[in-house]
Amino acid sequence: MQHPKDRSPALHLSRRHVLAGGLAGTSLLLGAKALARAASADPTPRAEPALEPVQGPFVLTPLPWKDDALAPSMSANTLSFHYGKHHSGYVDKLNKAVAGNKKWDGLALTKVIELAAKDPADAGVFNNAAQTWNHTFFWASMKPGGGGEPTGRLADALKTSFGDFATFKKQFTDAASGLFGSGWTWLTMKEGKLAIEKTSNADTPIAHGGKPLLVLDVWEHAYYLDYQNKRADFIAAYLDKLVNWEFALANLAG
Ligand code: MN3
């Protein structure tokens, strides 16, 4: 929805990083707000074609790593459906839902989410806008060789908020395991402390003034091809092998 002249410095930065050889550092530097801007701007150049290009004012943000880079914790087969069909489908449906309605004209994706959350009549726009944003945030929450314990400021914040890393890990695992049906498990900053939050279906902390640092998608489509009904194994792989703590730290600082 943005015009080229409206591009923020952060987006220029992201383009330089793309040209410099990859998107891995992009989300790290951009943080949540800038990611949302990037998701609503023109298509970003990428090394490989998008799995399922989407035309329209909102674009499918490229994955920050190659589609086989998280295997075997998350396979290219899973990503071909999860990113190439599900995420892509949300972007496509969002573009159809906002087409021709001046209410959404020129709004960044995060603003569409905030506005649509206020009116039940806009549930279709909300669901697809929030799912578009949530998935972009989810991909950035993971990296090849990620997981394990963070160090530095984030380690200190986890200790202050949860007592120790093992307690954080248990509480996050319990929250993700116990989420009934489809939804998301988040690490957020809430009232000066780190917190674990759950949202159902498309709901997202940013619709309610929240400040997410990381997210795990616990919809069945996120893990069924790789783990079938064993959601606990998927949660363990996310925490032990995939979590991108640098992204969380960038969001904490942002
Ligand atoms: Mn999903």
Inform me whether the pLDDT recorded for 179 exceeds 60: yes
Rounded Cα distance between 20 and 13, Å, is 10
Q: Which residues, 6 or more positions from 140, have their beta carbon under 8 angstroms from its beta carbon?
A: 27, 28, 35, 64, 244, 247
Inform me whether the pLDDT recorded for 27 exceeds 70: no
Higher per-residue confidence, 54 vs 148:
148
* Residue whose tokens read 């919809």: 219
* 202 Cα–ligand 1 center, Å: 9
Q: What is the pTM of this model?
A: 0.80
pLDDT single digits (tens) 44-75: 433 344 444 444 589 999 999 999 999 999 99
* 25 Cα–ligand 1 center, Å: 22
* 166 Cα–ligand 1 center, Å: 27
Inform me whether the pLDDT recorded for 117 exceeds 70: yes
Rounded Cα distance between 13 and 157, Å, is 28
When pLDDT is cut at 50, 70 and 90, the band that residue 88 belongs to is: very high
* 224 Cα–ligand 1 center, Å: 11
Domain positions in the chain are: 152-253
> Is 3.40.50.2300 the CATH number for 152-253?
no
Q: What integer pLDDT is reported at residue 56 of this predicted model?
A: 53
* 97 Cα–ligand 1 center, Å: 19
When pLDDT is cut at 50, 70 and 90, the band that residue 254 belongs to is: confident
Rounded Cα distance between 18 and 65, Å, is 11
Question: Cis peptide leading into 72, omega within 30 of 0?
Answer: yes
* 115 Cα–ligand 1 center, Å: 22
Cα distances (Å, whole numbers) of residue 38 to 10, 145, 224 = 9, 25, 29
